[in-house]
Amino acid sequence: MRIFLGADHAGFELKEKIKVFLRELGHEVADEGAFKFDPADDYPDFMEVVAKQVAADPDSRGIIFGGTGQGEAMCANRFKRVRAAVYYGSPRAESRGDESLDIIKLSREHNNANILSLGARFVGEAAAKQTIKLWLETSFSGEDRHIRRIAKLDYKLKSETRF
């Protein structure tokens, strides 16, 4: 699978580790930046590129990284055909890994999320790997009710971006 990555300064270090992990899993990885640590960079610059790439390639996915993942997902979700889900961890994700990850599965099964936004200040490397692996392995259910709801999301976005 082709996976586009993007991060600002807060997510840069985790992105670099996940890039190696994804390649080890056999995925084609396209790094859309940041390409160096710059504490003055702005996350929309990188998230826009990932969102446009994922929107143009329906068989791809994106993973974006920031401090909380919230602003990054807000940026990505401004683009038609993009459904970014945020995950910034759970105290149980590292220790138990059970229902705390249900949100990841449901983001794929119900919402067909095509971008995963991770809060690097809250998700460690081990939890990020576990979360990403589950997210990549989980399929969209394809149920009519979910297809209908996703279509309504794109209909409400009149243009490619609202910047």
Task: Go through the chain and tell me how many residues it has.
Answer: 163
Burial label, 21 (beta-carbon count in 10 A; 0-12, 13-18, 19+): middle
Q: Which residues does 2 contact at the CB level (< 8 Å), separation at least 6?
A: 27, 28, 29, 30, 57, 59, 60, 61
27 is catalytic: no
Q: Which residues does 19 contact at the CB level (< 8 Å), separation at least 6?
A: 5, 29, 31
User: Among the options 9, 32, 48, 72, which is catalytic?
Assistant: 72
94 is catalytic: no
Identify residue 16 by its one-letter amino acid code: E
User: Among the options 16, 110, 146, 160, which is catalytic?
Assistant: 110
Q: Tell which residue, 12, 117, 16, 102, has the closest CA to residue 61.
A: 117
- Kindly list the catalytic residues: 72, 110
